Copies of this chain bind each other. A is one copy, B any other.
Amino acid sequence: MQVRQRLENLSSELTATERKLCTALLLDYPYAGLDTIQDLAKKTGTSPPSISRFVTKLGFQGYQDFQRHLIDEIRQSNRSPLDLHVGDRPIQGDYLEDFVSRAVNLISASASAITSAQFERVCDLLGDEKRNVYLIGGRISDAIALYVSRHLRQVRSGVFHLPADPEIWPEYMLRMRSKDVLFMVDYRRYQRNLAELARRAKAQSGVQIVVLTDKWMSPAANHANEVFATPIESGTVWDSYSGAMVLMEAMLTRIAETNWDKTRKRIEAWDSLRFDHGARDDDQ
């Protein structure tokens, strides 16, 4: 029987340490198991005895027997490399797997809904250091705006995440110039006040507006210069933002790569300023 399958079978009766091992093995399956027992122990923060007991529990004679099995598996599956990744998950109707395949569809659809010209235009806008960037999102989608602003801040200066409280918005609006960019994320259950913010910011300062929304198009999109629309229907009770997330990652990566030298220097400078008790410098 496949090692992987044995892990599945036993996974209900594993101890904390054993689960940790299970996680590590599956994450880099099957190669993680080819390390020596000590190295694996160190990597997983467990101990050789625990590993030894674990593989015994899985039904092997000992660690070496376990490794022999893994090697055999590799040998077998060599003919169809894809097996390793997809084929041998035994459980039918596995929730996670099913969900993932839907998400993957969404993500592909998201990407193909955006032309590369538009993609480049928005990257240029947000990457342009001469423009300040203001970001905000809706109740849930603000998490995405936050993700973008945290990253963007590593690449460039002049990035401002607007707080949730509308009372404070005017303070930011007064600083917006017509070259600046207002980046809004607004998915359905649209928030009226975001559209209002867009309208007024546009009217007052002529700021450039980029909106990330779904196909029904947030009312804020009416005032936008650029609209990224991604599908969100996952066929479940919630909408899925994974398409938006990947799109944003692609955008951020593109921006960072475009001026990588500057970004690298900026990150280094930033790191040297980080307060020490909060950060580990050894990155691995």
Q: Which residues of A contact B (CB under 8 A)?
A: 7-8, 11-12, 16, 19-20, 22-24, 26-29, 31, 34, 43-45, 71, 74-75, 77-82, 84-86, 89, 91, 94-97, 99-100, 103-104, 107-120, 138-140, 142-144, 146-147, 150-151, 164-166, 188-194, 215-217, 219, 221-222, 224-231, 234, 236-238, 240-242, 245-247, 249-250, 252-254, 256-257, 260, 263, 277-284
Bound-complex Cα distance A188 to B282 (A): 10
| A96-B114, A164-B280 known; A80 vs B78 contact (CB < 8 Å) | no
Once A44-B217, A165-B282, A246-B99 are accepted as A-B contacts, the answer to whether A108 and B85 lie under 8 Å apart by CB is yes
Contact B143 A144, beta carbon cutoff 8 Å: yes
CB distance from A153 to the nearest CB of B (A): 10
Bound together, the chains give a CA A44 to CA B119 distance in angstroms of: 20
When distances are taken between beta carbons in the complex, the residues of chain B under 8 Å from A150 are: 139-140, 142-143
Q: Which residue of B lies closest to A110 (CB)?
A: B100
Assembly CA distance A240 to B248 (angstroms): 10
Q: How far is B234's CA from A245's CA once the two chains are assembled, in angstroms?
A: 14
- CB pair A277–B192 under 8 Å, yes or no, is yes
> Are the CB atoms of B143 and A119 closer together than 8 Å?
no
| The one of B7, B27, B147, B189 that contacts A283, using a Cβ cutoff of 8 Å | B189
Cα A230 to Cα B96 in complex, Å, equals 13
Shortest A184–chain B CB gap in Å is 13
Which residues of chain B are near A96, meaning CB under 8 Å?
111, 114, 116, 119, 247, 250
Residues of B within 8 Å of A7, CB to CB, are 115
